[in-house]
A and B are shown apart, each in its own frame.
Chain A
Amino acid sequence: MRLPKTVAAVFLATALGISPAFAHAFLVKSDPPVGATLAAAPKFLRLTFTEGLEIPFCTVAVTDSMGMDDAGGKPEAVPGHPEQMLVALNITMPGKILVSWHAVSVDTHKTQGTFSFTVAQ
Chain B
Amino acid sequence: MSLARRTALFILAAIAAPHFAHAHAVVGARIFVNTVQIDDPSVGDEANLPLYSITSPDGKSTVTDLNFEYDKTITENLGIGVGTDFDNITNDPAFSKKTKLGFDDPYIQLKYKWLVLPEHEFISSVAVQQAFGRGGTSGIDSGYDITTLAGYFGKGLGDIPWNPIRPFGVTGELDYNIADTGPSTGYGSINDWTGGLSLQYSIPYLQSQIRDYGLPPLLANLTPVVELGWSSAATNTKFRPSNLPTTFELSTGAVYTSTFYSLSTEILLPLNGAAGHGIGVIGQFHLYFDDMFPDTLGKPLI
Interface residues in chain A, defined as those with a beta carbon under 8 Å from any beta carbon in chain B: 7, 10-11, 13-14, 20, 22-24, 26-30, 33-36, 50-51, 107, 109, 111-115
Inter-subunit contact B259/A27 (CB<8 Å): no
- Closest Cβ of chain B to A117, distance in Å, is 9
Interface members, chain B 254-302 (any A CB < 8 Å): 258-261, 287-288, 290-292, 294-295
Q: Give A21 to B212 CA distance when docked, in angstroms.
A: 25
Evaluate contact between B294 and A22: CB separation under 8 angstroms.
Answer: yes
Q: Is the interface of B mostly helix, strand, loop or mixed?
A: mixed
- Chain A nearest CB from B297 CB (Å) reads 11
**A24 to nearest B CB, angstroms?**
6
The one of B208, B288, B292 that contacts A113, using a Cβ cutoff of 8 Å = B208
Tell whether, in the assembled complex, residue A24 and residue B291 are in contact, meaning their CB atoms are under 8 Å apart.
yes
Q: Which of B28, B211, B259 gathers most chain A CB within 10 Å?
A: B259
Q: What is B's interface to A at a CB cutoff of 8 Å?
A: 26, 28-29, 31, 49, 118-119, 158, 204, 207-212, 214, 258-261, 287-288, 290-292, 294-295
Would you call A26 and B204 a contact (CB within 8 A)? yes
Q: List 21 A-B contacts (CB under 8 A).
A: A13-B260, A14-B260, A14-B261, A20-B260, A23-B291, A24-B259, A27-B208, A27-B209, A30-B208, A34-B207, A34-B208, A34-B209, A35-B212, A109-B290, A109-B291, A111-B28, A112-B28, A112-B119, A113-B208, A113-B209, A115-B208
B292: chain A residues at CB < 8 Å are 10, 20
Contact: A33 with B295, CB < 8 Å?
Answer: no
Tell me whether B287 and A7 are in contact (CB under 8 A). Answer: yes
Q: How far is the CA of A82 from the CA of B84 in the complex (A)?
A: 41
Task: Chain B residues near A33: list those with CB within 8 A.
Answer: 212, 214
Assess the A113–B29 pair: CB atoms within 8 A: yes
Nearest-neighbour CB distance to chain B for A29, whole angstroms, equals 7
CB proximity of B253 to chain A, nearest CB, Å: 20
Return chain A residues, CB-CB under 8 Å to B211. Answer: 34-36
Bound-complex Cα distance A81 to B266 (A): 38
One of B31, B118, B261, B291 near A22 (C-beta < 8 A): B291
Q: Contacts A10-B287, A112-B29, A112-B118 known; A20 to B259 CB distance under 8 Å?
A: yes
Cα separation A34 to B215 with both chains bound (whole Å) = 13
